[in-house]
Amino acid sequence: MEVIPAIDIRGGHCVNLIQGEYDSETVFGDDPPEMARQWESLGAPRLHVVDLDGAREGAPRNLHAVRDICTAISIPVQLGGGIRDIGMAESALAAGVERVIVGTAALDPEKAGRFVSEFGDAVVAGIDARDGFVAVRGWLDTTEMRALDLARQLVAVGFRWIVFTDIQSDGMLKGTNIPALKELVESVAASVIASGGITTIADLRAARDAGAAGAIVGRALYTGALDLREAIQALC
């Protein structure tokens, strides 16, 4: 299972939010490419980058920083946040990312299918759940669509990768929602990457045992609660 550091960008800074609340922002750095180099030097197999401004505004807003990150490192980068149409995905891929994550736009089955037809495995479904229901627009709105139902719908149109985030766990440093993760993994024929709340090596092992193909770690790395090199070695 891959241990994947997250870099969340807002206004060009490396930040972290608690449960996606924009007024809970903590700034951890002003140089995203340097942060990317740090995680690469510690053995990160890839980076998970989120354009928080893009998620909120509906279009990527920090592609310059994303391009600088991709230039600065040799490991692959996956990007989410505001990618709502084919043109936005093309711009992100042109900036150097390996995979783009589609969240809000994936609620439209026809549009979701077009993403898969155009980009294949370079597009990933981002499913963010609050109490089991899908949240969109940077988690500002919660829909009436159940996360499991959306996952099944997206796999049916061809998605083979899902990033699953439990919003209540995100940024809380209390572990992730393993039962929800396990249920999702067992319900769909896709590779699932866990996100939200992962804090300890025990959390990572629990995600691996639940069947996750990867785990995204954010706040725990920035606060020093988790050492990336030790975590990667422990999962080997």
Q: Would you please indicate which residues are annotated as catalytic (active-site) residues? A: 8, 128
Closest by CA to 193, choosing from 205, 175, 208, 174, is: 208
Closest by CA to 130, choosing from 118, 117, 143, 111, is: 143
CA dist., res. 236 & res. 224, Å (int): 21
Closest by CA to 109, choosing from 98, 120, 101, 117, is: 117
- Amino acid at the residue 152: R
CA dist., res. 197 & res. 203, Å (int): 9
